[in-house]
């Protein structure tokens, strides 16, 4: 009898933990992207989470672009941005206080760390 109740309780707790983690990705995240050619770009991502879908915008000195094809899988997420007709896939992991993000430039992948911007 106790085993029969334990499985649903553990499953329920897992879903609660997963949804709590997803909610933490929403909001404004900032970091510096060092491009393969050595430039440093200040970037701001405004993430919006809806279930397992990730949308929002990415901003830099070059302008604002939309986040497309965004997905969340536990603490991992992926999306792409399109700049001047070129797609740049992103893959990331959400941590307690930051996000690690790998950006595919086609011929090289760069890693950056984003910090949650809690200023209003």
Instruction: For the chain, 120 residues long, give each residue's pLDDT as a single digit of tens.
Output: 455 544 455 444 444 444 444 448 999 999 999 999 999 999 999 999 999 999 999 999 889 999 999 999 999 999 999 999 999 999 999 998 899 999 999 999 999 999 998 776
Q: Which pTM was predicted?
A: 0.78
Q: Contact at 8 Å (CB) between 79 and 88?
A: no
Beta strands in the chain (DSSP E): 27-34, 40-50, 53-60, 63-73, 76-83, 86-94, 98-104, 109-116
């Amino acid at each position: 009898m106790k085993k029969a109740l334990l499985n649903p309780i553990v499953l329920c707790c897992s879903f609660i933990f997963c949804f709590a983690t997803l909610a933490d990705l929403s909001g404004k995240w900032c970091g510096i992207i060092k491009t393969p050619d050595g430039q440093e770009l200040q970037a701001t991502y405004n993430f919006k989470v809806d279930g397992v879908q990730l949308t929002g915008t990415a901003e830099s000195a070059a302008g604002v672009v939309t986040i497309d094809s965004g997905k969340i899988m536990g603490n991992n997420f992926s999306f792409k941005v399109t700049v001047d007709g070129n797609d740049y896939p992103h893959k990331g992991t959400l941590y307690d206080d930051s996000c690690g993000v790998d950006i595919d430039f086609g011929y090289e992948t760069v890693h950056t760390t984003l910090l949650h911007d809690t200023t209003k």
